[in-house]
Structure formats: C-alpha cells, structure tokens
Structure 1
Amino acid sequence: MKCYKFDEGIELYFYPIESIRSVTIAFNVGVGSVYESEKISGISHFIEHLSFRGTQKYAMKELKLKIESVGGLLNAWTDKENTVYYAKVPSFHAFQTFDVLKSIVFEPLFRKEDLELEREIIFHEYLSHLEDPVSNVFDLMYTNSLDGPHSKPVIGREETIKSISLEQIQKFHDEFYTPLNIKVIIVGYLDEKNLNLIRNELRFFGGFKTTKHKSKVKTGVIKGKVLKNNQQTHLLYVKPGFSLQSEERFSAMVLNTLLSSGMSSYLFNEIREKLGLVYDIYTMNMFHKDWGLFTLYAATSEEKVEVFHSKLFEVLSDFKLTDDLYDYGIKRLIGKLELSTESTATLTNMIIDYLTNDIKPMMPLELIQRIKNVSKEEVQKVYENLISGKWSLFYVSPSTDEWIPKNW
C-alpha cells in the first residue's frame, strides 16, 4: 500500500489492485459521536446527511448523477469516531468521483430549507431505530457497559435532532472537517495519470487532528428494555475483549470464527441445530485502539429465554477445542480473508478501521500469515480468558425489563 503524507495536510492511502477495473474512493473524517457535547448529540450524523444536499460546485441531483450514471455507488456513514463518504465506480471515472467526494466533504452548502427537510428525514430514521430490537439491544450495551464517550448515541436524541441549528452545524463542520483530520483511501485500479491528478488536488493545509478517546468496559451489568411490538427476546452478552494492538486479537479472530461463523460453527450446531432454541446466534470482536469488547448475540422466543440462557452457559462450559474445530476456525478465517481481497469496499473498510485508531493498516496477506501462526493452545487460552469471569447482559423483551437469569 502506498501512503502519501502532504506537509501539514491531508493523508492519502492507495492500495492498488491491477486485476480489476473498478475503484473505491473514501474520505474518512475523524469525527463522530464521541466528540459531541450533549447539546449537539447526533450532529456528526446530521452533517453527513446534509452534505448530500448540494455543494458549491455540484447541485444535489448533479453530484448523485455524476456517480450513478456510470453504474457507481455513492454513500456515507457515521460512527462513534469517524464519518466516511465513499463511492465505488469504474476506474475510468475515478478523478471525477474524487472531485465529487472532495466537494461534498469540503464545500457543502448548509441552507435553512435543506436543514428542515433533512431534520424530518433523520427523525424518521430515529423512529425506525427505536423500533428495531437489534439496534436497541446494542444501544443498551453502549450506554450501560461503557464508561466514557463511546457510550454516546450516533443518531442523537429526539430533542437534539429537533433543535440542532444551522449555526451549530456550520461551526462543527468548520472545526472538524479540516485537512489534518481527514484521510483519503483509494482501493482498486487507478492509473498513474489519475493518481497524480488526485495527489495534486490534495495539497491543502491547516486544521487539527482529533485526539482518540478511550472508554472503560464495565462488567456484571444487566439491563433490559421493553419493546412491545417485538416478537422475540434479543440478548447481548458482553465481556471486555482485546485491543487492535494486542497480539491476542489474532487468536480471538480464530475463536470468533469457529464459535459462530457459518453453519458448521460450534454455537450454530449446539444451540440452533441440536436444541432449536434460536434462529440467530453469533459472537463478535470489537477492536479499538486501547480496549475492546467480546459480544455474544442471540434472539429467542420469550418463553424459552430462561432455558436458552441456561443451555448457553452449559454449552460454553462444555466447550472442547478439538483439532477439527481449530482447523475449521483457521481455514475458514483465511478463506474469508482471501475472498476479501476481491472486494474494494471490504478492503477500504479494513483500512479505515486501522486509520480510525491511528494504527498502520495490516492488509489481508499479512493478516493471513499472522492467522496461520496462531496455535491451538493460544486459541484455547483466549477462550478461557474471554468466557470466564463476570459477563454483562443486555436484552430487549416484548414484556419485561426486570428479568434476571437464575444464578446470575
């Protein structure tokens, strides 16, 4: 991967893939909900929406048409620590696409009439979010298991969505959308001519870089929420995990794969196939720079919640890392990483994960080699580390927020 760092300015990361004829271009802005005060909660997400309403160079319809008329995709997303604007297009349209994204990021027209229209759209998104049980259970986790800024909601709150002003949006954009706080990522095929054109356009100066925040993971927390129109109970078990800089994360990735990735995985077989207690069950590693989370999500019918909880911990207690399971975890993870090299979007997101945490990106081929070196004993040790001790539990139920599992 090539990295271009301009004097006191923006950074460009280019991962060339000669065998394809498409390219993904992303502007990663180092701002999200962790940088927001309570009074403007959700403003990063608000700016993401509003930036597509037109820029100094492109009208709203034009900036979308420039990408979509050649078969491309234009989109954006906001998270805890970053806001990402991206497009995937045929390579011949790379520079024009870069120009559209650059205009969206640096030159949005924040107008009163657009603000009110987008406010309505975001509020409807917020209402949909409130009705989604999976979103609710993860919100419960962030709000109650983290001590620090990562507990803040990305979408904001009803009162802030209704009150954020044009002046607040312009001030926040001016403060955080600066060259030093933005990284450009390009993955795919890009010829030297277009690469040089893009490099010449990135010689901005000024601004500042956001300081990364750390949150502390609480343990032993249990919190429920009632969602009456919901037909199932959604459960999320949480433990402190590993950071993006820890050596154990490679073993944790293998463990996560053999536990719940695919129909041949351990939990899928033991909980779904043999017991029929769930439709969905999966584990997940959430890696951050200096901390992490290990989570286990499942959804089951209300009358089976207690049985599910009991059987889950029986199954986890009875777990034995056989050679077959170990081989499955290693080979499946390597295979998935190999397949990811064919997706410019997947590779772009992989790079963004590292850059968001100010860590040099580790690309699939290097990651594959690290996975190959993970031993069975290391996976077993990580399992014992993650499974033992006190869990936190968050759930969304059709009828109660007072359930506490037996022997909790």
Structure 2
Amino acid sequence: MILLEKKCLSNGIELYIHHLENIRSATIAFNVGVGSVYEPDEISGISHFIEHLSFRGTKNYTMKELKRVVEEVGGLLNAWTDKENTVYYAKVPSSTLFDAFNALKEVVFYPIFKTEDLKLERNIIFQEYLSNKEDPMSNLFELMYTKGLNGPHAKPVIGREETIKSINLKDIKIFHEEYYVPYNVKVIIVGYIEDEVLEKVVDELEKIDGNSMKTLKHRSIVNTGLIEGKVMENTKQVHFLYVTEGFSLEQEDRYPAIVLNTILSSGMSSYFFEEIREKEGLVYDIFSTNLSQKDWGIFNIYAAVSIENVERFQNQMINVVRKFELSDELFNYGLRRIIGKLELSTESTSTVTNLIIEYLSNDIKPELPEEIIEKIKNVERSDVERVFKKLFSRKWSLFYVSPEEIKNITFKGEFI
C-alpha cells in the first residue's frame, strides 16, 4: 500500500507527501490552523479577510504574477476559509510543481498588506456577504450553526456586516503575524514529485521563521429539540435541514456511518432518493451528510419542497425512517458504492489532498482512501443497523427557510 510520508521540519512545519507515480500532475496545499473559531467577536471574519488579501501581492510576486504562475500552465489556484482552518491550494502539471509551491509559500508567509487593497477587498467581501444573505442554502446553514450549535463553531466564517466594515490594516497585520507561523502550518503535496523538487521544497520551508504558536482544536455542542425557521420572500421553496449529533473522526462507528450515509442518500438508487423523490415526487434533491470533527460531529438531512407539500413531506420523512429495513440489497449497494467511490478518488490528486486536509485540520493522523477501504470492508450489516438505530433514536432539531410563515410544522424532534 502506498503510504503517506510525513516530515517534521526544524521550524515546526509539518510536510506530508503522497507519491503517485503513474500521473503527471500534483496538488499542493498549505493548511493554516486558523479560522472563525479563533477570532475575537470585534474582528469576526478576519481569517477570511486575510485569505482574500494575501493574493493581492507578496514580497516577491505581484497579484498578476501569483495567478499567472499557476493558471498559465493550465493549473487551478484556489483558497478557502473554514471554522478552524484556512487553505491555500494549487493543482498543476508536475513539471511546474516547485513554481506553484513557491507562489503559495509567498501568499501564506510573505503577503504585503496595503490600505488600497484592503479597501478593494472590503467591497468584494461585502458583495459576497450580500450574496450569501440572498441565498436560501447559505441562510439555512447559518441558521443551523448559530442556533443549532453551542460553542465557537457558531461564529460565521465571513463575519458580520459591522466587522466587515470595521476591520483595519493593523488588525490584519497583527492577526497574520500571530497565526501564520510555521508551527501552525501543514503542507501537503499529492501526485508525481521528483526527488530533487522535493529537496528544494524542504530547503525553502526550512528558511521560514516564526514563533511556536499552534492552535488547539475546539468542540461545540449540537443543540437538539429545536424548531427554528426564517422567512425569505425571494425563495420559492421551503428548505428543510434536520440536524442531530453525528459521528466524530475518532469514533469507530464512523465507518458504518459512512456506509449508512451512502445507503440513505448517495446516488439515484439510495433509500431517501427512491422513497421521497421517485415514489412520491416531493423533492428534486434530498441528501444527508455527516460533518465530522475531531471528537464531535453533526449529522444532517437536507431537502427542499414546495410550500403546499410541507405537511406531506414531514409525515413522509417520519414514515420512511420508521419503516427502514436494511435488506441485503441496500447493504451491498452502500458497501460497494462507497468502496467504488473511494477507489475512483485515488486517481484524483485534489480529492486525496482534500481528504488529508480534513484529518490534519482536526489534528488527526490522515487515512488515505486505500486505508478507509480496508476499514469499510470490515463493516458488517449489524454494524450499520446499530448505527441507524443509534442515530434516529436521538433527539433532532429542524431548521427551515421558507417564503412565508409555516404554521403546520408537525415534526416534534423525534423520528423513532
């Protein structure tokens, strides 16, 4: 089995390398251990601000040069901010790997923050904020995080309107200096990597100085038994999100939970899709997700329905959960589908990189797709049945976004 190589550098940076010999591309990511969880309320959204501003220019690159070094060779350049991490990311032909690495290294450690750039990005981020406010899905998940969680993960990644308008250059520089340090950064490279290129990468990373600060992972509590809604007149459907406590990255139950989630909502042959869409015609899409953190998780079920079908949909959701029986056909579908999807993921450097980031963002030793497949193969039908019973015997919350007030909410926080 191809393993993940780890190098701990003298300055605290952790470098993870996954060699894939039969391809000619590589993905590189800098995972910085900072996000909205670590932000004081008065500068909420500053991690996202820094992610934007860092591409405006660095010590050795202009903004245009940073983009061109990756994009002119057909590569993909991206970044995102989450609750506990910020990721800077590029996928390029292996022959240009070092150039892409060098550009990302500059973006992460050596950005130049200017007043005029802050003004421009403030306007851009505010437009992004307004777009989110008009989007039903964004509002639904914001409702889940703010009402459904008790803890630091309730903080919005993008910040609040007042903080977007008030964060200043001094705030940016102080926050970057505190959190963008070697001990708080993990670098991941997946793909075809020549030995001499890897040596150059290590040499460059070793040159980076900084303090030994490293963020610790936080936990939030999932609030259950809540019914919370929001009216958005511009939406044409009612967007529902059922939420309960999920399975963490440290729990062995998460492997049968992965199989169960596949059975319930992955693909057109999945249980919810057939029962709610194909047989009843109540939805266009329905899916479930287990959002796993280090030692806690959130399990949710999403669907959107027309206003006139709200009561029928709620009743049908309870009915299909209560009548669920794990047949051999369903169990084999879930098992074979998730194994197949994991096997296909091994051919994508970006997918494998994102998987590694999920673990490293939670300070957990990463599992590669091949390792997860071996764990999945050991899942028994009885394991999935046990996890289903555990999950749906719990208290749930229901969040919704609707074009008008809903008076016929029949869900009482329990499926079974």
> Which TM class, normalised by the smaller chain length?
over 0.9
Q: SS at 1:202's partner residue?
A: helix
Q: Tell me the residue number matched to 2:396.
A: 391
> 2:258 is matched by which residue type in structure 1?
M
> 2:225 is matched by which residue type in structure 1?
G
Q: Give 4+ residue runs of structure 1 displaced > 3 Å after superposition.
A: 401-404
Residue among 206, 209, 224 paired with 2:210: 206
Contact 2:225 2:412 in 1 (8 A): no
The offset of 1:405, in angstroms, is 2.1
1:5 is aligned to 2:5 = no
Residue among 286, 292, 309 paired with 2:291: 286
The offset of 1:70, in angstroms, is 0.7
Alpha-carbon displacement from aligned partner over 1:332-354 (angstroms, at most 9, x marks no partner): 00000001001111100100010
Q: SS at 2:188's partner residue?
A: strand
CA distance in 1, matches of 2:411, 2:41: 37
CA distance in 2, matches of 1:8, 1:108: 20
> 1:286 is matched by which residue type in structure 2?
L
> 1:206 is matched by which residue type in structure 2?
G
CA distance in 2, matches of 1:230, 1:197: 52
Contact 2:80 2:86 in 1 (8 A): yes
CA distance in 2, matches of 1:149, 1:40: 14
CA distance in 2, matches of 1:31, 1:292: 19
The offset of 1:24, in angstroms, is 0.4
Q: Tell me the residue number matched to 2:246.
A: 241
CA distance in 2, matches of 1:139, 1:266: 27
Q: Which has the higher mean CA deviation after the structures are superposed, 213-222 or 80-89?
A: 213-222
For structure 2, list consecutive stretches of 5 or more residues without a partner in the other structure: none
Q: SS at 1:309's partner residue?
A: helix
Q: Tell me the residue number matched to 2:67.
A: 64
CA distance in 2, matches of 1:275, 1:397: 21
Alpha-carbon displacement from aligned partner over 1:103-122 (angstroms, at most 9, x marks no partner): 00011110000000010000
1:231 is aligned to 2:236 = yes
The offset of 1:206, in angstroms, is 3.5
Identical aligned residues as a percent: 61
> 1:157 is matched by which residue type in structure 2?
R
The offset of 1:159, in angstroms, is 0.7
Alpha-carbon displacement from aligned partner over 1:78-111 (angstroms, at most 9, x marks no partner): 0000000010000000111100000000111100
1:333 is aligned to 2:338 = yes
The offset of 1:186, in angstroms, is 0.2
Contact 1:28 1:184 in 2 (8 A): yes
The offset of 1:403, in angstroms, is 5.5
1:77 is aligned to 2:66 = no
Q: SS at 1:101's partner residue?
A: helix
Residues 407 and 189 of structure 1: CA distance in aligned 2, closer, same or farther (over 3 Å): closer
Contact 2:311 2:409 in 1 (8 A): no
Residue among 170, 173, 176 paired with 1:173: 176
Contact 2:286 2:301 in 1 (8 A): yes
TM-score by length of 1: 0.99
Alpha-carbon displacement from aligned partner over 1:199-220 (angstroms, at most 9, x marks no partner): 1111134321101111111110
Residues 406 and 50 of structure 1: CA distance in aligned 2, closer, same or farther (over 3 Å): closer
Q: SS at 1:277's partner residue?
A: coil
CA distance in 1, matches of 2:394, 2:28: 43
Contact 1:10 1:205 in 2 (8 A): no
1:254 is aligned to 2:259 = yes
Listed as ranges, the matches of 1:33-72 within 5 Å are 33-72=36-75
RMSD: 1.0
Residues 205 and 319 of structure 1: CA distance in aligned 2, closer, same or farther (over 3 Å): same
Residue among 83, 87, 91 paired with 1:88: 91
Residue among 306, 314, 322 paired with 2:327: 322
CA distance in 2, matches of 1:63, 1:378: 49
Contact 2:277 2:284 in 1 (8 A): yes
Contact 1:22 1:89 in 2 (8 A): yes
CA distance in 2, matches of 1:59, 1:185: 24
Q: Tell me the residue number matched to 1:122.
A: 125
